[in-house]
Structure 1
């Protein structure tokens, strides 16, 4: 079933000066955005890629270099770019048996990423890598069976607006209660997979429920 409400993953970028003290902040920013995007399983790899690409600028271009981190979706891949103004210092990949420390960062990138490269522009160099997300589409999710079931329920909610010609099969109270609890759990998984605040959603649902109960009591 196609995703009813896809995850909006808009490209973003952040300018900074390439200094060791900036790396921790960049890692936190990446964690925050990927959490909102529902790409929790990529956070560790993405943080390592950002650290290595930034360290590469610090080491080979210079401390204090004006740099930009850009993160976007490239099809179903997560694309991470680091822009710097030096088109001469190109990243290199060293062999595994090389004793030199230079180039080891790109060796790690090569191991983590599905693909990587360097793009030379008139005024800057773009070193990029892409991580496989496992998503079916760029705005899809990887929430598993519970999320899929929750979306099926949402589809039924839409169909319920149409005229009903057949009566549903009766359920016992006990079976219906268990089914309702399972539906609620699935919906919470769906919210989480789409990068939404589960606690806020529960609070809002509770507020709606209590307000409607109160209105019903007033109308009695």
Structure 2
């Protein structure tokens, strides 16, 4: 498994972004939280670290639980000075996220409800051509407090 012992590299062009591919398994959540915290620290947005880490954990859990993918790509981006976007890309475009309601006694099923409550907004984008997507990105955005 890849680790973050080497520094995360920013995208050479476009808005600031961090991206790495990892196995699609629950233990990747710990690495995802570190990736998010490291990126936010570089951008001096440490106040968003806890909610962003929780969101990426939930997105990784959903990908590992609901897709047959062997690997996922974790993304942390700043589409604008006012927003941070965390996302998980998988190769299962037919398995779209659905915001449901968890049974009171259920031990799971609350991940997207939690993301919906914490994030400013969330959604998914299909990857690839419109007729034949090869994957999807499930993402969530947090406001930075900056104008933008």
The 3-state SS of whatever aligns with 2:96 is coil
1:134 lines up with 2:142 in the alignment = no
Structure whose residues are more often helix by fraction: 1
Please state whether the residue corresponding to 1:20 is helix, strand or coil.
Answer: coil
- Asked if structure 2 preserves the Cα contact closer than 8 Å seen for 1:91 and 1:103, the reply is no
**Aligned counterpart, 1:27:** 33
Is the aligned partner of 1:36 residue 2:42?
A: yes
Deviations 1:120-167 (A, max 9, x none): 231101101100110124xxxxxxxxxxxxxxxxxxxxxxxxxxxxxx
Task: For structure 2, list consecutive stretches of 5 or more residues without a partner in the other structure.
Answer: 1-14, 128-132
Cα root mean square deviation, aligned: 1.8
Matched ranges for 1:70-109 at <5 A: 70-75=75-80, 76-95=82-101, 99-101=105-107, 103-109=109-115
Kindly tell me the number of residue pairs found equivalent between the two proteins. Answer: 128
Structure 1 residue ranges (4+ consecutive) displaced by more than 6 angstroms after TM superposition: none
- Structure with greater Cα Rg: 1
Select 1:125's aligned residue among 127, 131, 136: 136
Match of 2:70 among 51, 57, 65: 65
Using a 3 Å threshold, how does the CA distance of structure 1 residues 108 and 127 change in structure 2: closer, same or farther? same
Separation (CA, whole Å) in 1 of partners of 2:106 and 2:67 = 18
Unaligned runs of 5+ in 1: 1-8, 138-220
- Give the strand-richer structure, 1 or 2: 2
Report the alpha carbon displacement of residue 65 of structure 1 after superposing the two structures with TM. 2.1
- Deviation string for 1:159-193 (max 9, x for gaps)? xxxxxxxxxxxxxxxxxxxxxxxxxxxxxxxxxxx
| 3-state SS of 1:123 partner | strand
TM-score after normalising by structure 2: 0.78
